[in-house]
């Protein structure tokens, strides 16, 4: 066994050897001191969590009190036995992740896989998981939880995976921003995935980092989610990833309807919002067929039939493994084209790797992380993974 | 890629929503080659996508340094089979899946064409070029689609290979591993890697290795020293580096001018017995004697070879007494005694005894000297049984300590920057940087292409590259899969020309260095007129003996008229269902610059009836490349231009079985290939090729895709050898054979 590398123990040096050769001792040391909260544990979040734990992030907190029996089908961290033991998704994932890397700490943070507590009390809808509106104390508890971490990752959780309502992303981002906590938010929906990154204030200098091999610190400014989705459209051009405008159209839908789009029936309204946006944009990117519709449908909650039997279907899915049996069971309720696909595993793997890699950059402040969106879709330019910046 | 011939491909990715396709995923049979970094991620992504019938092959066992990314493995799995463990763990979280593991080498005979035919998809997560080429050939023979992948650090790449439709893995040249001219290593090092290779391959073997362990390097030295008559055997690589730069070109003029004198001096100086410990010689005194020889007298002697130092400063000798005063050497003796009393065996560490606990901190010259002496003495004191048979192993701490100290001391003679133990270990062990995130992304990209293939959405297939940082905002970049290269040695139809000294090279040299190493042939079957040589399963003992007896004979003196100038050697590999014709061009004046391995292998044009001047052929043929293919390549090059840092993965060889690959810039490869074409059509090639009827080297199964450019011709996979050969011989000369360039790569597995 190799001798200790600086402050790293022999165990660290042995296990982390190959990545130390990629990013060096100093970055590893910073990662070991960092704390990341994962809010919601769907398939994409499972990928991100696995990657962060393997890298040796000091503390990874998991918050998702969904019963393990109702875990998102793509969450490979939930062992089939967890459902029978009555564990939550966070508990089941924590067990797997802690075994994956005993050199760091995995913590279960009690609470739901969303940030509805941060929404204004009078708001007409809360979450699509059907929780009643929490009191101010719950909001304070979530803020207190955030304040104990350096960065929060919210990329989908619960049974569907498909991501927080955009309004919740904005609320989470607002709270995290006020606390100086970094935010990675997003979702994988069928063939498409989006990621938003906010690492720091508009008034302050923003996110500081020191590129490898340099001594001078550099700064990156990030925008809030709200301003990134409501700012001027001047930056949009023909090569902009069309998912950015789809996301804005969904945001407008939420503002108008007080809820996220909930399936194929809402697609025309989102489409109308999209058309209004492109009309206001001198050079909007072309919209590939099905991109918007698939994004709306695949992000929706499982259909009524599936929802009614969610526990049963998911339990059997969990018992049988990870597959899309739950979705398949639900498919009986509607046409194939209108049934949510949920998260696709290969998309989660690609985007989960990209997200984790950039979370590690944000934590180690050695290289510039993505600023401030990442989009990936099978439907856009053959699966081009694109960084976009909208402030 | 051409528009699909079938009128209606399913729409991608809409097909993913259909029940029929979900059923198809469930019943598809998938072969995963490799259960390492990419393999673990791939197995997970496959079952999460709904695949249920998976078989996985990996010969490796789990090591601690795998655990940071091969997430199916735990510490208590260290030492166990990767394939078996991965299968059990995946089956644990997905009981509905059937995962069949093979703890075996994919090159074993049981994984033959019939085995590959059982699968709908073959997905590679391999760590070495040799195995990749083998799987490529089997996929071509079995006509099964292959998705190939590799990672290095933050870079990743996934490519799709479907016979007749996209290029095969070997259509593009892969970079040759870096080799270092022996006289650079011995006389004129100027980079850290030079002294590390010297310490690992020369000094370590001299002191602790088998007596013949350095003979390959001696052979290389002999060749480079202008003694072409000396025989060569097998691998001659200095061993290092996978980067593929043609470092041999760095050998300087003056170094070559001085080579003869230096080599002569070296031959006299390097009487191997000097480096052996004498009876009764105290271990530390022995170590000090070696030090004085290597770092004092040898360096002084070299510094006096004036020709070497006309353009660079001569090395400065070290003196042990200055680096390590007698009092400190006494302390070494005490440390050695302590280790001997403690009975430290394999875990003995000079660093621990000396309190050098920080692996990333460079040692002082005195510390280097202390480590060198103590490590040498420890070998003789606590691991004496290994002396005389040791081989460098990057996981052997004492060996790494020795190499670090030995190379640093040499570096200080030459003014080369010294290295920490951590860095020296990485360089000496060819350790590939590897992180989990890249493997995860690559697994997703592999499964994406696998789904397209399974759905029949062939028009949507893409080769995809993952960049380290966004280039022009793009981080994950798909590119249209390239068309097959008509001149591909493997999936196309071409002949090779081998320039070699047929008077002095024995058959063993041809078989080892050219056939097995360069051509990646597993079970060679060589035919030329009345000459036949075979290896592999199913030979009788007397046959084996007869063939073995041929090995020492020079090529031109082999039976059946010999393999002399102009002979056409048919090389076949039953296990790969592949073959190629090699035209022998006898050449005596091969320079070490051009032919560091003692031969030159290059593509040749299977000229029709009238031989054309070779130089012209090269240029012309190059231009004649099918316009569509040329355009595609150009487009591909354009794509890659703004993608600095994106590599075309070709090989990785972290020897501890990682499945990641090493990359090289895809576009560069294309360019290399084309540039290579211009230079490699060598004089002598055309002369040998004219009028030969056996223009069809390939005996792979050519049915089915035969119409496609580059599709192989010849016999069916399972036919008997003779029949296949006959068929190959009578096949018409391919009109579309276009170019004369094959840049063949080597690979280097530890």
A138/chain B closest Cα distance in angstroms: 34
Choose among A76, A82, A53, A362: nearest CA to A222: A362
ipTM here: 0.91
Chain A's closest residue to B355, CA to CA, is A3
Domains and CATH numbers, chain B: 14-175+433-480 (3.40.50.720), 182-241+243-428 (1.10.10.520)
Question: In this complex, how many residue pairs, one in chain A and one in chain B, have their CB atoms less than 8 Å apart?
Answer: 225
**pLDDT averaged over chain A?**
87
Query: In percent, how much of chain B has pLDDT > 90?
Result: 42
**Helix (H) / strand (E) containing A251:** helix A242-257
| pLDDT level of residue B117 (50, 70, 90 thresholds) | very high
Q: Domain map of chain A by residue range?
A: 16-388
Could you write out the DSSP letters of every residue in B356-418? ---TTSPPPHHHHHHHHHHHHHHHHHHSGGGTTT----TT-HHHHHHHHHHHHHHHHHHTPPP
For testing the chain B interface, which of A6, A10, A20, A21 should be mutated: the one with the most B CBs within 10 Å?
A21
CB contact under 8 A, A100 and B434: no
The confidence score (pLDDT) of residue A221 equals: 92
B419 or B721: which carries more pLDDT confidence? B419
Integer Cα distance of B188 and B194 in angstroms: 9
Q: Mean pLDDT check: name the lowest of B14-18, B83-87, B343-347, B387-391.
A: B343-347
Residue A38 phi, psi (nearest 5): -105, 115
The confidence score (pLDDT) of residue A287 equals: 95
Integer Cα distance of A199 and A205 in angstroms: 11
Residue B47 has pLDDT above 90, yes or no: yes
The confidence score (pLDDT) of residue B85 equals: 98
**pLDDT averaged over chain B?**
75
Chain A's closest residue to B660, CA to CA, is A18
Average pLDDT over residues A57-82: 95
Integer Cα distance of B43 and B225 in angstroms: 51
**Cross-chain CB nearest to B22 (options A5, A328, A367):** A328
Choose among B249, B272, B270: nearest CA to B178: B249
State yes or no: cis peptide before A372, omega within 30 of 0.
yes
The confidence score (pLDDT) of residue A300 equals: 80
B433/chain A closest Cα distance in angstroms: 5
The confidence score (pLDDT) of residue B127 equals: 85
CB contact under 8 A, A54 and B64: no
- Chain A positions touching B654 (Cβ under 8 A) are 18
- Chain A positions touching B476 (Cβ under 8 A) are 350, 354, 376, 383-385
Choose among B401, B344, B393: nearest CA to B371: B401
Integer Cα distance of B182 and B223 in angstroms: 10
Integer Cα distance of A360 and B68 in angstroms: 14
The confidence score (pLDDT) of residue B270 equals: 57
The DSSP 8-state label assigned to residue B451 in this structure reads H
Residue B55 phi, psi (nearest 5): -120, 145
Pairing state between β A182-189 and A218-220: unpaired
User: What dihedral angle (degrees, nearest 10) is formed by the CA atoms of A101, B54, B156, A374?
Assistant: -80
B588/chain A closest Cα distance in angstroms: 45
B431/chain A closest Cα distance in angstroms: 8
- Chain A positions touching B422 (Cβ under 8 A) are 2, 5, 20
CB contact under 8 A, A324 and B75: no
Integer Cα distance of B494 and B581 in angstroms: 8
The DSSP 8-state label assigned to residue A190 in this structure reads B
**Cross-chain CB nearest to A18 (options B16, B47, B65):** B65
The confidence score (pLDDT) of residue B9 equals: 87
Q: Model confidence over B428-446: pLDDT tens digits?
A: 988 878 899 999 999 999 9
What's the angle, vertex CA B211, arms to CA B207 and CA B216, rounded to 5?
A: 100
| pLDDT level of residue B522 (50, 70, 90 thresholds) | confident
The confidence score (pLDDT) of residue B602 equals: 79
**Cross-chain CB nearest to B475 (options A19, A320, A354):** A354
CB contact under 8 A, B352 and A328: no
Contact A65, A369 (CB under 8 A): no
- Chain B positions touching A6 (Cβ under 8 A) are 358, 360
Q: Cβ of B88: how many Cβ atoms within 10 Å? A: 15
Question: What radius of gyration, in Å, describes the C-alpha atoms of chain B?
Answer: 27
For testing the chain A interface, which of B360, B433, B447, B459 should be mutated: the one with the most A CBs within 10 Å?
B360
Per the annotation, where are the binding residues of B for Zn(2+)? Answer: 168, 171, 488, 491
Average pLDDT over residues A27-34: 95
Bridge partners, B548 (sequence order): none
B247 or A69: which carries more pLDDT confidence? A69
Average pLDDT over residues B272-294: 90
The confidence score (pLDDT) of residue B403 equals: 96
Pairing state between β B524-528 and B568-573: antiparallel
| pLDDT level of residue B619 (50, 70, 90 thresholds) | very low
Choose among A194, A192, A191, A114: nearest CA to A370: A194
Per the annotation, where are the binding residues of B for ATP? Answer: 34-39, 58, 66-69, 82, 127-132
CB contact under 8 A, B74 and A100: yes
Query: In percent, how much of chain A has pLDDT > 70?
Result: 84
Q: CATH topology for A16-388? A: Rossmann fold (3.40.50)
C-alpha torsion sign, points B693, B695, B697, B701 = negative
Report which listed range, B62-66, B338-342, B653-657, is most confident: B62-66
Integer Cα distance of A267 and B500 in angstroms: 70
CB contact under 8 A, A347 and B421: no
Chain B's closest residue to A56, CA to CA, is B68
The confidence score (pLDDT) of residue A52 equals: 98
Per the annotation, where are the binding residues of B? Answer: 34-39, 58, 66-69, 82, 127-132, 168, 171, 488, 491
The confidence score (pLDDT) of residue B564 equals: 86
Residue B681 has pLDDT above 60, yes or no: no
Integer Cα distance of A377 and B476 in angstroms: 11
The confidence score (pLDDT) of residue A334 equals: 52
- Burial-class residue A88 by CB neighbours within 10 Å (0-12, 13-18, 19+): buried
**Helix (H) / strand (E) containing B113:** helix B113-117
B147/chain A closest Cα distance in angstroms: 14
Counted residue by residue, chain A has a size of 391
Residue B409 has pLDDT above 80, yes or no: yes
Q: Model confidence over A244-299: pLDDT tens digits?
A: 999 999 999 999 999 999 889 999 999 999 999 999 998 899 999 999 999 999 98
Contact B45, B447 (CB under 8 A): yes
Residue B211 has pLDDT above 80, yes or no: no
Helical segments of B456-566, H only: 507-509, 541-550
Residue B43 has pLDDT above 90, yes or no: yes
Could you write out the DSSP letters of every residue in A323-367? STHHHHHHHTTS-GGGS---B-HHHHHHHHHHHHHHHHHHHHTSS
Tell me if residue B479 falls in helix, strand or coil.
strand
The confidence score (pLDDT) of residue A292 equals: 96
The confidence score (pLDDT) of residue A362 equals: 96
**Cross-chain CB nearest to A383 (options B16, B19, B476):** B476
**Helix (H) / strand (E) containing B33:** strand B29-33
Contact A3, B358 (CB under 8 A): yes
CB contact under 8 A, B96 and A323: yes
**Cross-chain CB nearest to B68 (options A15, A190, A381):** A15
Q: Which residues of B are catalytic?
A: 183
Average pLDDT over residues B680-686: 27
- Chain A positions touching B44 (Cβ under 8 A) are 76, 349
Q: Model confidence over B485-501: pLDDT tens digits?
A: 887 888 877 778 888 99
Choose among B432, B384, B422, B369: nearest CA to B400: B422
The confidence score (pLDDT) of residue A133 equals: 53
Average pLDDT over residues B626-644: 39
Average pLDDT over residues B145-171: 93
CB contact under 8 A, A14 and B359: no
Residue B591 phi, psi (nearest 5): -85, 150
| pLDDT level of residue B258 (50, 70, 90 thresholds) | low
For testing the chain A interface, which of B20, B50, B68, B464 should be mutated: the one with the most A CBs within 10 Å?
B68
- Burial-class residue A234 by CB neighbours within 10 Å (0-12, 13-18, 19+): exposed
The confidence score (pLDDT) of residue B225 equals: 46
B629/chain A closest Cα distance in angstroms: 20
The confidence score (pLDDT) of residue A338 equals: 80
Residue B617 has pLDDT above 70, yes or no: no
Integer Cα distance of B418 and A256 in angstroms: 66
CB contact under 8 A, A336 and B19: yes
Report which listed range, A279-293, B71-85, B214-228, B234-248, is most confident: B71-85
For testing the chain B interface, which of A350, A372, A388 should be mutated: the one with the most B CBs within 10 Å?
A350
* Cβ neighbours for A389, distance < 8 A, ≥ 6 positions apart: A235, A371, A372, A373
Integer Cα distance of A382 and A378 in angstroms: 6
């Amino acid at each position: 066994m190799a001798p200790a590398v600086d402050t790293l123990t022999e165990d660290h040096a042995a296990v982390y050897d190959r990545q130390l050769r990629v990013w060096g001792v100093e970055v590893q040391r910073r990662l070991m001191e960092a704390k990341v909260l994962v809010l919601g544990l769907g398939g994409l979040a499972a990928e991100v969590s696995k990657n962060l734990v393997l890298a040796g992030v000091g503390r990874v907190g998991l918050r998702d009190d969904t019963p393990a029996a109702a875990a998102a089908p793509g969450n490979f961290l939930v062992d089939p036995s967890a459902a029978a033991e009555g564990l939550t998704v966070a508990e089941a994932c924590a067990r797997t992740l802690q075994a994956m890397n005993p050199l760091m700490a995995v913590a279960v943070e009690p609470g739901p896989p969303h940030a509805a507590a941060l929404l204004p009390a009078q708001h007409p809808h809360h979450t699509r998981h059907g929780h009643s509106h929490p009191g101010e104390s719950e909001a304070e508890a979530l803020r207190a939880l955030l304040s104990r971490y350096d960065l929060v990752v919210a990329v989908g959780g619960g049974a569907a995976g498909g991501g927080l309502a955009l309004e919740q992303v904005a609320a989470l981002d607002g709270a995290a921003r006020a606390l100086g906590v970094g935010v990675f938010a997003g979702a994988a929906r069928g063939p498409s995935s989006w990621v938003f990154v906010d690492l720091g204030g508009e008034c302050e200098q923003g996110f500081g980092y020191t590129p490898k091999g340099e001594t001078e610190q550099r700064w990156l400014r990030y925008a809030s989610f709200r301003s990134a989705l409501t700012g001027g459209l001047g930056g949009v051009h023909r090569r902009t990833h069309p998912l950015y405008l789809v996301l804005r159209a969904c945001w407008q839908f939420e503002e108008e309807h007080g809820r996220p789009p909930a399936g194929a029936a809402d697609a025309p309204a989102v489409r109308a919002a999209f058309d209004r946006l492109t009309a206001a944009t001198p050079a909007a990117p072309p919209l590939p067929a099905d991109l918007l519709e698939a994004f709306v449908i695949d992000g929706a909650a499982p259909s009524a039939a599936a929802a009614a039997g969610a526990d049963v279907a998911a339990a059997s899915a969990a018992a049988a493994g990870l597959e899309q049996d739950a979705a398949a069971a639900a498919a009986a309720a509607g046409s194939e084209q209108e049934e949510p696909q949920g998260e696709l595993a290969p998309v989660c793997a690609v985007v989960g790797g990209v997200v984790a890699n950039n979370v590690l950059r944000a934590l180690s402040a050695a290289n510039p992380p993505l600023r401030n969106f990442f989009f990936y879709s099978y439907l856009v330019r053959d699966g081009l993974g694109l960084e976009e910046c909208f402030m | 890629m051409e528009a699909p011939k079938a009128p209606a491909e399913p729409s991608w990715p809409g097909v993913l929503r259909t029940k029929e396709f979900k059923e198809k995923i469930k019943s598809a049979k998938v072969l995963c080659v490799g259960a390492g970094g990419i393999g673990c991620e791939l197995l997970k992504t496959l079952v999460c996508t709904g695949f249920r019938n998976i078989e996985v092959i990996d010969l490796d066992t789990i090591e601690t340094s795998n655990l940071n990314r091969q997430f199916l493995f735990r510490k208590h799995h260290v030492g166990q089979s990767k394939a078996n463990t991965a299968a059990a763990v995946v089956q644990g979280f997905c009981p509905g899946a059937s995962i069949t593991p093979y703890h075996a080498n994919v090159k074993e005979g049981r994984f033959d064409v019939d085995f590959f035919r059982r699968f709908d998809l073959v997905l590679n997560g391999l760590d070495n070029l040799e195995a990749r080429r083998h799987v490529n050939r089997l996929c071509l023979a079995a006509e099964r689609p292959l998705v190939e992948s590799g990672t290095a650090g933050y870079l990743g790449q996934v490519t799709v290979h479907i016979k007749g439709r996209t290029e095969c893995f070997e259509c593009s040249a892969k970079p040759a591993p870096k080799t270092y001219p022996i006289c650079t290593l011995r006389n004129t090092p100027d980079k850290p890697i030079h002294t590390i290779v010297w310490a690992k391959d020369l000094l370590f073997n001299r002191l602790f290795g088998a007596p013949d362990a350095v003979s390959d390097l001696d052979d290389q030295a002999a060749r480079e020293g202008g003694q072409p008559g000396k025989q060569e055997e097998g691998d001659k690589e200095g061993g290092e580096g996978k980067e593929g730069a043609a470092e041999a070109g760095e050998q300087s003029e003056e170094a070559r001018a001085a080579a003869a004198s230096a080599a002569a001096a070296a031959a006299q100086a390097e009487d191997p017995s000097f480096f052996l410990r004498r009876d009764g010689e105290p271990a530390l005194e022995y170590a000090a004697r070696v030090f004085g020889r290597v770092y004092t007298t040898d360096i002084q002697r070299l510094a006096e070879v004036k020709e070497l130092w006309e353009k660079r400063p001569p090395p400065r000798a070290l003196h042990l007494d200055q680096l390590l005063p007698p009092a400190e050497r006494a302390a070494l003796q005490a440390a050695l005694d302590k280790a001997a009393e403690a009975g430290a065996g394999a875990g003995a560490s000079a660093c621990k005894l000396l309190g050098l606990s920080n692996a990333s901190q460079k040692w002082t010259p005195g510390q280097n000297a202390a480590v060198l002496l103590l490590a040498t003495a420890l070998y003789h004191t606590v691991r004496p049984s290994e002396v005389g048979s040791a081989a460098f192993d990057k996981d052997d701490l004492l060996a790494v300590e020795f190499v670090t100290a030995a190379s640093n001391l040499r570096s200080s003679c030459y003014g080369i920057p010294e290295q920490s133990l951590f860095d020296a270990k990485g360089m000496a062990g060819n350790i590939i940087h590897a992180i989990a995130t890249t493997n995860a992304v690559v697994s997703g990209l592999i499964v994406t292409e696998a789904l397209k293939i399974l759905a029949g959405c062939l028009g949507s297939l893409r080769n995809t590259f993952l960049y380290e940082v966004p280039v022009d905002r793009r981080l994950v970049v798909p590119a249209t899969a390239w068309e097959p290269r008509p001149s591909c040695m493997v999936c196309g139809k071409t002949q090779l020309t081998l320039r070699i000294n047929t008077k002095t090279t024995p058959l063993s040299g041809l078989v080892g260095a050219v056939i097995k190493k360069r051509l990646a042939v597993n079970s060679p079957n060589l035919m030329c007129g009345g000459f036949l040589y075979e290896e592999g399963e199913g030979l009788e003992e007397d046959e084996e003996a007869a063939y073995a007896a041929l090995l020492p004979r020079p090529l031109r003196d082999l039976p059946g008229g010999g393999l002399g100038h102009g002979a056409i050697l048919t090389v076949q590999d039953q296990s790969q269902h592949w073959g190629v014709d090699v035209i022998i061009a006898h050449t005596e004046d091969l320079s070490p610059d051009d032919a560091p391995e003692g031969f030159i292998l290059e593509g040749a044009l299977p000229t029709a009836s009238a031989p054309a001047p070779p130089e012209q052929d090269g240029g012309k043929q190059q231009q004649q490349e099918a316009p569509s293919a040329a355009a595609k390549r150009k487009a591909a090059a354009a794509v890659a231009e703004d993608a600095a840092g994106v590599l075309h993965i070709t090989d990785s060889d972290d020897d501890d079985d990682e499945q990641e690959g090493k990359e090289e810039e895809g576009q560069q490869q294309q360019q290399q290939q084309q540039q290579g074409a211009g230079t490699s059509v060598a004089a002598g090639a055309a002369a040998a090729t004219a009028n030969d009827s056996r223009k069809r080297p390939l005996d792979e199964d050519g049915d089915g895709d035969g119409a496609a450019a580059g599709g192989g011709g010849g016999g069916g996979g399972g036919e008997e050898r003779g029949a296949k050969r006959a068929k190959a011989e009578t096949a018409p000369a391919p009109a579309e054979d276009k170019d004369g360039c094959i840049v063949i790569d080597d690979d280097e597995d530890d």
